[in-house]
Structure 1
Amino acid sequence: MEVTFNTYTISDDKTRLDIDIIGGFLSRSYWANERPIEKTQKAIEHSLCYGVYDQNRQIGFARVITDGATMYYLCDVFIDEQYRGQGIGKKLVETIINSEALQGINGILGTKDAHSLYESYGFSRVADRFMRRAAVAE
């Protein structure tokens, strides 16, 4: 699947993903800054992934974990700082939630700072309903 937005391309082709760009951004994020690149690579292998490209340069990313029937978890969403404010992130989220693979499936996500973006796509805040169990170190 490929979607064109202005001069940008959104694609679910994993062969186009640039792990160095993804890892570099996630290492600066508040949610994945301690995640080793090897875990990110494994997560990508087992997820639906969407890259955003300015010609051949990756400028954005999102990952979706799903069972394909009842629920999906949208995560690791980012747009390169230099490209923000152009509606690219909105188009990325719109493309994902409207994808054929996720139709009729409940979605969840976690965010510290982008609530209004996701609310505009039908997500609502339900923090009191979620629980978390941290991974135990091996």
Structure 2
Amino acid sequence: MNITYNQFLISDDKSLLQLDAICGFLGRSYWADRWSRETIAKSIENSLCYGIYDGGKQIGFARVVTDYATMYWLCDVYVDETYRGTGIGKKLIESITSSDELGGLSGILGTKDAHGLYEQYGFVRIPDRFMRKFPG
């Protein structure tokens, strides 16, 4: 998938991903700031990934874990701070949730602070339903 939005490119082509940029994004996040470069690289290898690019510079990222049949987990969504407010994050979520691969599947995600964004694309809050197990 390659989608152009204003001057930006949204692509699921893994050969375009820039690991240094992604590690920088996730290092500034509240959910992945302790992940090693190796962990991030392995997560990318085993997931469907989307990059956002301004020219040749990666400015955003999202990762999806899926069975391609019933459900997907949307995670690691990040847009560089200097590009927030341009609509590119909304276009990324729209592109993912309406894609041929994922459009007909159930989606899940976790967020502390972006409920309003995801609700615009059909996600609903379900309190007290999910459980989590931490490693170790």
Superposed CA deviations along residues 86-134 of structure 1, whole A, max 9, x for unmatched, are 1000000000001100122100000000000000100000131100000
TM-score (norm 1): 0.97
- Counterparts of residues 7-18 of structure 1 (less than 5 Å): 7-18=7-18
- Which structure's residues are more often helix, by fraction? 1
Q: Which residue of 1 aligns with 2:35?
A: 35
- Provide the alpha-carbon RMSD of the alignment: 0.6
Displaced runs of 4+ in structure 1, greater than 3 A?
Answer: none
Structure 1: stretches of 5+ with no match in the other structure:
none
Count of aligned pairs between the two proteins: 136
Structure 2: stretches of 5+ with no match in the other structure:
none
- Could you tell me how far 1:37 is from its partner in structure 2? 1.2
- Could you tell me how far 1:39 is from its partner in structure 2? 0.7
> What secondary structure does 1:62 align onto?
strand
Is 1:107 the counterpart of 2:107 in the alignment?
yes
Superposed CA deviations along residues 3-46 of structure 1, whole A, max 9, x for unmatched, are 00001000000010000000011011100011111111001001
Tell me, in whole angstroms, the C-alpha distance in 2 between the residues paired with 1:129 and 1:64. Answer: 21
TM-score (norm 2): 0.98
Superposed CA deviations along residues 29-70 of structure 1, whole A, max 9, x for unmatched, are 100011111111001001000000001100000000001111
